[in-house]
Amino acid sequence: MSIIRHDDRTTVTHDLPAGSRIERHRHTEHQIVYPSAGVAEVRTEAGCWIAPADRAIWIPAGCWHEHHFYGPTRFHCVGFPSDESVCWATPSVLTALPLVRELIIACSTPDQLPEAEAARLRQVLLDQLRRSPEQRLRLPAASDVRLRKACALVEDDLSVVWSLADLGVRVGAGERTLTRLFRTELGMTYPQWRTQLRLHRAVQLLADGLAVTAVAHRCGWASTSAFIDVYRRMLGHTPGTYHSDRDSKRR
């Protein structure tokens, strides 16, 4: 893994090898980050947010975070003054429609534009981001020790199907207690959280070049078709689309 010291600039473009990580840091400005190739993940003490090439992640000013990258990644960052009125007090994954993508790419290389033009583009970008739907591509972190242990058991091997009762035996908590903890701490049921986890892992594995069938198996889906169906419903396209887009960018 390549560990990179954070860049104090909030507006920049990086080309990073697969497996790179930018160490924990924070900025005095808000920031939007977007991978035009590869996958970017933002991690904080509160959880993880992940973005393939049709999503972007908003990071509010002052938020301690680190970045992890899957697959060869071209990573764009654009900063905004902390006094800007925005809609997101915590990191958030936003839909990156084509106009938003092109604006982020253009704004992340400000030296190529006159400052007045770059400032106007950043304002248009911020206006467009405010209209961008928020996506549920977040894995919240547990604070209760028993819930953290249960989540770790599931995360260790997604091909193993754990029932809540079995997890409870392993971590010393009743099924009803774990059910309550998933709802109160993570804001979702156990099946909903496991689906989020499997999608999160699937996005990472697809970026690393694994075949769709292999990803479905590793992430615990009963069949490749079941994986494709859930992926399409949650992300709006099939997992095979990711490989097609990546291959077309290489040509």
Kindly state whether residues 146 and 117 are assigned to the same domain: no
Kindly state whether residues 124 and 158 are assigned to the same domain: no
Cα–Cα distance, 12 to 15 (Å, whole number): 10
How confident is the model over 100-114, as a mean pLDDT? 89
pLDDT at 245 over 60: no
Q: List Cβ neighbours of 234 (8 Å cut-off, separation of 6 or more).
A: 136, 195, 199
pLDDT at 251: 41
pLDDT at 35: 97
Strand boundaries in the chain, DSSP class E: 3-4, 12-16, 21-25, 30-44, 47-51, 55-59, 65-80, 92-95, 134-135, 138-140
Kindly state whether residues 16 and 116 are assigned to the same domain: yes
Task: Name the 3-class secondary structure at 54.
Answer: coil
pLDDT at 243: 56
What's the per-residue H, E or C state across 167-226?
HHHHHCCCHHHHHHHHHHHHCCCHHHHHHHHHHHHHHHHHHCCCCHHHHHHHCCCCCHHH
Mean pLDDT of the chain: 91
Kindly state whether residues 120 and 186 are assigned to the same domain: no
Kindly state whether residues 55 and 92 are assigned to the same domain: yes
Pick from 80, 229, 225, 220: which is nearest to 154 by CA? 220
Task: State the total domains in the chain.
Answer: 2
Cα–Cα distance, 101 to 177 (Å, whole number): 43
List, for residues 114-173, the tens digit of each pLDDT value.
888 989 999 999 999 999 998 888 999 999 999 999 999 999 999 999 999 999 999 999
How confident is the model over 39-52, as a mean pLDDT? 96
pLDDT at 109: 86
Cα–Cα distance, 246 to 243 (Å, whole number): 5
Rg (CA), the chain: 19
Cα–Cα distance, 32 to 42 (Å, whole number): 11
Kindly state whether residues 76 and 161 are assigned to the same domain: no
Domain that holds residue 133: 3-138
DSSP state of 142: P
CATH code for the domain in which residue 150 is found: 1.10.10.60
pLDDT tier for residue 249 given thresholds of 50, 70 and 90: low
List, for residues 219-231, the tens digit of each pLDDT value.
999 999 999 999 9
Kindly state whether residues 114 and 103 are assigned to the same domain: yes
Pick from 193, 216, 198, 204: which is nearest to 242 by CA? 204
CATH code for the domain in which residue 56 is found: 2.60.120.280
Kindly state whether residues 34 and 71 are assigned to the same domain: yes
Contact in structure between 28 and 82 (CB atoms under 8 Å): yes
pLDDT at 250 over 70: no
Look at residues 94, 122, 138 and tell me which one is the last residue of a structural domain.
138
Look at residues 123, 138, 153 and tell me which one is the last residue of a structural domain.
138
Pick from 135, 169, 133: which is nearest to 149 by CA? 169
